[in-house]
Amino acid sequence: MATLEIAGLRKSFGTTPVLHGVDLTLADGEMLVIVGASGCGKSTMLRLVAGLETPSAGRIVLDGRDITALDPSARDIAMVFQNYALYPHMSVFDNMAYALKVRGLSRADIRRRVEQTAAMLGLDGLLARKPRQLSGGQRQRVAMGRAVIREPKLFLFDEPLSNLDAKLRVQMRAEILRLQRRMGVTSLYVTHDQVEAMTLGDRLLVLHEGRPAQLATPMEVFSNPADTYVAGFIGAPAMNLLPATLTSGGTALRLDCGPLVPLAGAWAGPDGRRLTVGVRPEDVALGEGGLSLAVELVERLGSESLVHGRVAGAGAVGNETLVVKLPGPVAVSGTIPLILPAARLHVFDGDTGRRIEPIAPEKPTQRLAGANAAR
């Protein structure tokens, strides 16, 4: 078990920058999930930590030791790859035992540790098989076993479940979480899958074009996204984002598509300030609230339904789309009335996209102090 510190980490390929400076610290035993769109630099970051790429700038410190320039074999790191990376000519036993043989352990110690790890991962009856005789899920277990058996200071997972079908991904996700919790090994996990990110991580690092967009717990990222990129990326379906302007002295906003929407609290800025208002599909309610949706598509998912459409009615410009999540299988068509609950709205600056918060209400003691000063 160990801590990991990354400071000012940058990487460019030729004249193309990929990582623009990443700073973070992982606590002992923490699982940090790095998530972002394809090409954001998340796998590059993992390869830099593993020593498979050389950073253009920055430091990587594992358990107090600077490993930035160390050979991968000297870093005491184990990596689980997307494509398993098993030796096809070796049995499951030999794939898992290889690193121990290189270390020079005795045959008895190797057999004991392989059998213990195989039992932990449900591979007991598969030790004599070759990788080609295994299913995708079994191969991924072997890849994990090969990493676990080394007892490293740091685990790296590079989209390990992306080649599995949906059912297997759910099973393996639970296994990875149980295994990491049981062993308490500090871990970096890269994925583009939001469900994996939300369920596996103690914290999430959302990368956007090589820059950290937000670093926080999964629920903090979901509940208080730092900007419109995070808001639109985290959540399935994504948060609805609608352009608007501030009005009524900061207590309401006017959507570009027409309706006036009250705010819970007051926001700083003159009337006319450009904003983007966000609302999650599950927070939109049916009812008369000044907003109407022309239904275009209904996805019935059993326990819930996703209603897709365009904002309709007076003042609507006809190109603002909205997704509403409703409980159970619903039968809706035509135009339906909607309410955007003031307490569930997220407000972002219209120019920078950064999250903004309402002005803190003045406390009675502050008002009294102001009154006394005026005397």
Question: How is the chain split into domains, by residue range?
Answer: 4-232, 237-349
pLDDT of 331 reads 85
pLDDT of 289 reads 79
Binned at pLDDT 50, 70 and 90, residue 365 comes out as low
pLDDT of 314 reads 45
Which position has the higher pLDDT, 177 or 362? 177
- Could you read off the pLDDT of 144-160 as tens digits, one per residue? 888 888 889 999 999 88
Q: Where are the alpha helices (DSSP H) in 2-135?
A: 42-50, 92-103, 107-120
Cα 229 to Cα 17: distance, rounded to the nearest angstrom: 20
Bridge partners of 307? 298, 324
- Could you read off the pLDDT of 297-323 as tens digits, one per residue? 999 998 999 999 998 754 555 578 899
- Could you read off the pLDDT of 204-251 as tens digits, one per residue? 999 999 999 999 999 999 999 999 999 999 988 899 999 999 999 999
pLDDT at 360 over 80: no
| Residue 211 CB neighbours (<10 A) | 16
Please give the model's pTM, rounded to 2 decimal places.
0.86
Binned at pLDDT 50, 70 and 90, residue 140 comes out as confident
- Could you read off the pLDDT of 25-48 as tens digits, one per residue? 999 999 999 999 888 999 999 999
pLDDT of 239 reads 95
SS3 57: strand
Percentage of the chain exceeding pLDDT 70: 94
- Bond prior to 364 in cis (omega within 30° of 0): no
Please say whether the beta carbons of 216 and 203 come within 8 A: yes
Binned at pLDDT 50, 70 and 90, residue 372 comes out as low
Element (H, E) at 195: helix 194-200
SS3 202: coil
Residue-averaged pLDDT of the chain? 89
Which position has the higher pLDDT, 372 or 273? 273
Cα 67 to Cα 97: distance, rounded to the nearest angstrom: 26
pLDDT at 201 over 70: yes
Which position has the higher pLDDT, 374 or 101? 101
Which position has the higher pLDDT, 375 or 118? 118
pLDDT of 172 reads 84
Residue 166 burial (CB < 10 Å; 0-12/13-18/19+)? exposed
* CATH class held by domain 4-232: alpha beta
Cα 158 to Cα 42: distance, rounded to the nearest angstrom: 9
pLDDT at 362 over 80: no
Binned at pLDDT 50, 70 and 90, residue 290 comes out as confident
Q: Give rounded-to-5 percent helix, strand, coil for the chain.
A: 30, 35, 35
